[in-house]
């Protein structure tokens, strides 16, 4: 089963005029209980509009960016929770996640988050975390490409560190079996149904040939005509960075076509659900939203130092 982490949906600084005080908070289970769509209703009432406008501009320039930001959010949340750690550049004290195997030369769109953060800071200084901006931007990217809309619980804090080693170990690889995928999602508190729904994110964006070559040449549980189509631009050797959509009909539209193009019947536990999603767009959409909210509630481990970053690329 192809995984949303290793396909490449084809996916940031700030200058501050004054010194501001940001109180670092320790994140943990209690933070998850405080997340609320109304978290910034009084402190930054224009937040949703600012993020939406930033994403609308980015997607208008390049539709693929909606998928890139969505993927960035996935990769952030799977490494010690949704804490904006993926946005941090390397420092002398830690090696960030941008250079991890699943992210290097693949995760993209950091400049989009930077631009949105700059506008948010201008409106609400030292108030909104980069982690929350990324969560909102991922939702807006989906919706701007025709997907569902939903209320995003807010109130996350930004981690003051990052872990390349965790990024390498926590993100599923392109050759992961169904059992491995279910296990790795389970480690994050996500069910097999969540995993199958979130995999539908492949309906937008593009993937690099190197990440799906094995699937289209050696596996029998991939739609034969779809495999032949992808083989036209993904040879058995070479062309590793060639891009192609998993969704042939609507590569820039968020819908259930991924399940129709890449139906994965192998006698596995998710066959019936994949079949259901392929014919019931509403069911897929509802389950996707549920899984996104559930994944978005993943918090950093207890004791992780956090803050509201002023620049998403570096700690305060």
Residues belonging to the active site: 75
Is 218 annotated as belonging to a binding site? no
How far from 272 is each of 111, 265, 276, CA to CA, in Å?
A: 40, 9, 6
Is 202 annotated as belonging to a binding site? yes
Between CA 105 and CA 151, with CA 143 as vertex, the angle to 5 degrees is 110
Is 97 annotated as belonging to a binding site? yes
Is 85 annotated as belonging to a binding site? yes
Is 79 annotated as belonging to a binding site? yes
Question: In sequence order, which residues have a C-beta less than 8 Å from that of residue 279 and are 6 or more positions away?
Answer: none
Residue for token digits 């700059």?
Answer: 118
Is 250 annotated as belonging to a binding site? yes
Query: What is d(CA 75, CA 174) in angstroms, rounded to the nearest whole number?
Result: 14
Beta-ladder partners of 311: 314
Beta-ladder partners of 243: 208
Is 89 annotated as belonging to a binding site? no
> With the C-alpha atoms ordered 260, 264, 267, 273, is the resulting torsion angle positive or negative?
negative
Q: Which two tokens stand for residue 158?
A: 């930004």
How far from 142 is each of 68, 76, 167, 240, 259, CA to CA, in Å?
A: 10, 17, 24, 27, 17
Q: Which two tokens stand for residue 298?
A: 């993943």
Is 81 annotated as belonging to a binding site? yes
Is 147 annotated as belonging to a binding site? no
> Which uninterrupted H or E stretch holds 141?
helix 130-144
Question: In sequence order, which residues have a C-beta less than 8 Å from that of residue 222 and are 6 or more positions away?
Answer: 215, 216, 262, 264
Asked whether 44 and 123 are in contact (CB, 8 A), the reply is yes
Which residue numbers belong to the known binding site for Ca(2+)? 76, 79, 81, 83, 85, 97, 203, 247, 250, 255
Which residue numbers belong to the known binding site for heme b? 202
Which residue numbers belong to the known binding site? 76, 79, 81, 83, 85, 97, 172, 202-203, 247, 250, 255
Which residue numbers belong to the known binding site for substrate? 172
């Amino acid at each position: 089963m192809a995984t949303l982490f290793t396909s490449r949906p084809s996916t940031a600084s700030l200058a501050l005029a004054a010194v501001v005080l940001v109180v670092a908070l320790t994140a943990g289970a209690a933070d998850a209980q405080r997340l609320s769509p109304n978290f910034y209703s009084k402190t930054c009432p224009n937040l949703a509009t600012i993020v939406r406008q930033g994403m609308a501009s980015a997607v208008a320039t390049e539709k693929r960016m909606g998928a890139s930001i969505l993927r960035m959010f996935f990769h952030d949340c799977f490494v010690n929770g949704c804490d904006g750690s993926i946005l941090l550049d390397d420092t002398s004290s830690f090696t960030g996640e941008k250079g991890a195997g699943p992210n290097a030369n693949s995760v993209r769109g950091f400049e989009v988050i930077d631009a949105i953060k700059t506008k948010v800071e201008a409106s609400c200084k030292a108030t909104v975390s980069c982690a929350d901006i990324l969560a909102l931007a991922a939702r807006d990217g989906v919706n701007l490409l025709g997907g569902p809309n939903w209320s995003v619980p807010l109130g996350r804090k930004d981690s003051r560190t990052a872990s390349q080693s965790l990024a390498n170990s926590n993100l599923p690889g392109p050759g992961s079996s169904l059992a491995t995928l279910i296990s790795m999602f389970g480690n994050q508190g996500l069910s097999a149904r969540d995993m199958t729904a979130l995999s539908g994110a492949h309906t937008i964006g593009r993937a690099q040939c190197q990440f799906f070559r094995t699937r289209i040449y050696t596996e029998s549980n991939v739609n034969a005509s779809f495999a032949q189509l992808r083989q036209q631009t993904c040879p058995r050797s070479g062309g590793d960075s060639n891009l192609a959509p998993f969704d042939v009909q609507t590569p820039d539209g968020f819908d259930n076509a991924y399940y129709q193009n890449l139906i994965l019947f192998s006698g596995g536990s998710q066959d019936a659900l994949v079949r259901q999603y392929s014919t019931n767009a509403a069911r897929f959409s509802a389950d996707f939203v549920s899984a996104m909210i559930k994944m978005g509630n993943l918090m950093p481990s207890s004791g992780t130092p956090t803050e509201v970053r002023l620049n998403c690329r570096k700690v305060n």
